[in-house]
Amino acid sequence: MATDSNKFQAIISHCKEYGFIFPSSEIYDGLQAVYDYGQWGSELKKNIKDYWWNSMTRMNENIVGIDAAIFMHPTTWKASGHVDNFNDPMIDNKDSKKRYRVDHLIEGHAELMEKDGRLDEAKALLEDMDKLLAKDDFEGLRKLILDHGIKCSISGTANWTDIRQFNLMFSTEFGSTVSADDEDNKVYLRPETAQGIFVNFLNVQKTGRMKIPFGIAQIGKAFRNEIVARQFIFRMREFEQMEMQFFIRPGTQKEWYEYWKAERLKWHLSLGTAKEKYRFHDHIKLAHYADAACDIEFEFPIGFKEVEGIHSRTDFDLKNHQEYSKKKMQYFDNDIDEKTGKPYGNYIPYVIETSIGLDRMFLLVMSNAYTEEDLSTPEKQDSRVVLRFPPKLAPMKLAVLPLVKKDGLPEIARKIMDDCKSHFRCFYEEKDTIGKRYRRMDAIGTPFCVTVDQQTKEDNTVTIRHRDSMQQERVPLTEIKRIVLESTN
Ligand code: ATP
C-alpha cells in the first residue's frame, strides 16, 4: 500500500498508465512543468470545468461568462501592475547554479523540521519568513536562510547569492519584428485570466444590462515562468484558471468577501470531499492589488497546499485601466442610498475575485479519488486501484460489457450503447475476462459497469456493478439509463 509520501508518485504513474496525463512532447524527453491531458484526463478536466461553470453562471442569475483572448494589449499589464510587481524573490546557489524561490526554499526547510518533530521551531521560522516577505526585506530573508543553515539540495552548500526579484511573465513578439528587443511589438502571454474580465467590464455590463452586484466568470489558459516548477501539475508553466470577478459597491467588500469564502468552500464540499481536508490560509503579505486575501488549501499527498485564492481586489484594476486607457470605467448606480436619500450615482466598482486553478483542482480530485484496496482473502492475494471520483466528474459513466463475444450478446450490448451514448459517456468492451474488464474500469473511475449475459436474452435484465462497493445487482435493461443519470447528473 502506498504511504502518503509515495502516494503522490503512485498517482503520477497511474495518470500516465491510464491515459490521464502525459509529459508534454514526451518523445523529446518532455518539457519541464508542461503536461498534456490524455483521453480520460481531458474528459475529467472538462467535467470539472463544466461543474464550476454551471455552478457560477447557471446557479447565479447575476453571473455571466466570457472567453477573452490570451493576448492582450501590452499596456494591460502595466496597468495591472504585473510588469512592475509580478515578481518572486529568488536566490541562486553559487555551487550548483540552481535557482530557488526564497519562500519555497524556507518552506522546504520548515517541512524537514516538522518531520523531525521540531514543530515550534518550524512555526517560528515560517512566521519570521512571512514578516520579512511582507516588508520585502531581502537582506533579512538571506540572513534567515544563513542563520538556519539552509542548504541547496544539489550541492549541499549554503553558498548563496543575494536575493533578487524575477518577473514571471512570458513575452513574445507580435507581427514581423525588426529586432527581438523591440519593446513596441512585445506582447505577454497572460499570467492570469482576470484582466480579460476587467477590460471587458463595461462591454458586459452595458450589453448584458447587468446591475451591481454582478459577476463575470471565465475559464482559460494562463502562463507563468515558474522557477521552481516541480510537483507534477501542481505548479505548471502553462495552466488553466477558472476565475470570477464579482463587481460590488465600494464599502461592501468585507461582507462579499466573507460571502464568497463561504460559497467557494461549499462548492468544494458539494463534491463529497471530507471537510477536514480543507482549510483557509489568510495572507499576511497581500498582493499589490488586494485589501484582503486568503487561500483555500487542500491536504494533497504533498501536504496542505493552495488550490484556490479569494481576493478582495478593491477598485485597483478598474481604476488603473481607467487611468492608462483614459476610458471611464464607472458604473451608474441608481439605487437609493438610505443614508442620503439619493442615488449612489457614479463610481468605480470594487471587486471580489475567486480564482481556482483547474489543474490543481484536477490534482485534488485525483488525490481524493485514488485508492489502493487490499481485497485478499485467506485463499487468494488480491488488490485493486480504484478512482473513487464523484460520479458527476467521472470521465466515463458506464461500461457496457457482453460476457462473451457470441450468442447475440454483443448485439444487445450495442443496443444499450446506442440508447445511452447520447446521454452520457459510455465505453464498450468485449475483450478479456469480465474480472479484468472491471478492474480496468475501476482504474479509470467508471462508476457503473453493466454485463450482458445469457439470462439477459431470457428476461431482459443485466448485472449492474457499482464501482465503490463492487456490489452487483440484477436490473431490467430499461432501468440502466435512469440509474446512471440519477447518480451522475
Ligand atoms: P502560488 O502561491 O502557489 O504560486 P498564487 O497565489 O500565485 O499561487 P494565484 O495568482 O492566486 O496563485 O492564482 C490563482 C490560482 O491559480 C491558484 O490558487 C492556483 O490554483 C492556480 N495557479 C497559480 N499558479 C499556478 C501554476 N503555476 N500551476 C498551476 N496552477 C496555478
Per-domain residue ranges for the chain?
5-70+185-366, 87-167, 396-488
Which atom, in ligand 1's list, is nearest to the CA of 307? 20
Query: Mean pLDDT across the stretch 116-127?
Result: 92
CB 389 within 8 Å of CB 419: no
- Quickly tell me which residue has 488586494 as its cell: 290
Instruction: Provide the 10 A C-beta neighbour count for residue 387.
Output: 26
- Enumerate the H helices of 178-286 as residue ranges: 194-199, 201-207, 253-269
Is ligand 1 within 6 A of the CB of residue 355?
Answer: yes
- Cell numbers describing residue 260: 464568497
For domain 396-488, the question of CATH label 3.40.50.150 is answered with: no
Average pLDDT, the chain: 94
Report the pLDDT value the prediction gives residue 375, as an integer from 0 to 100: 92
Fold of the CATH domain 87-167: Herpes Virus-1 (3.30.40)
Per CATH, which fold does 5-70+185-366 belong to? BirA Bifunctional Protein; domain 2 (3.30.930)
Distance CA 201, CA 208 (A): 10
Phi, psi angle pair for 472, to nearest 5°:
-120, 145
Whether ligand 1 lies within 6 angstroms of the CB of 366 is answered as no
Among 480, 478, 443, CA closest to 465: 480
Report the nearest-CA residue for atom 8 of ligand 1. Answer: 306
CA distance 46 to 395: 9
Residue 397 CB–ligand 1 contact under 6 Å: no
Closest atom of ligand 1 to CA, residue 226 = 27
As a whole number of Å, the end-to-end CA separation of the chain is: 33
309 lines ligand 1 (CB under 6 A): yes
Lowest mean pLDDT among 77-81, 129-133, 248-252: 129-133
Out of 77-81, 177-181, 341-345, 372-376, pick the least confident: 177-181
The number of C-alpha atoms within 13 Å of 101 and in the hemisphere containing its C-beta is 17
pLDDT at 285: 74
For the CA of 236, the nearest atom of ligand 1: 28
pLDDT tens-digit map of 18-62: 999 999 999 999 998 999 999 999 999 999 999 999 999 999 999
* 396-488 has the same fold as 5-70+185-366: no
pLDDT higher than 90, residue 228: no
Helix (H) or strand (E) holding 410: helix 409-420
Nearest to 293 by CA among 314, 276, 274, 275: 314
Q: Determine if ligand 1 sits within 6 Å of the CB of residue 241.
A: yes
**For residue 192, how far is its CA from the centre of ligand 1 (angstroms)?**
9
Tell me the three state secondary structure of residue 247: strand
Contacts of 161 (CB under 8 A, 6+ apart): 91, 92, 93, 94
Cβ atoms < 10 Å from Cβ of 173: 16
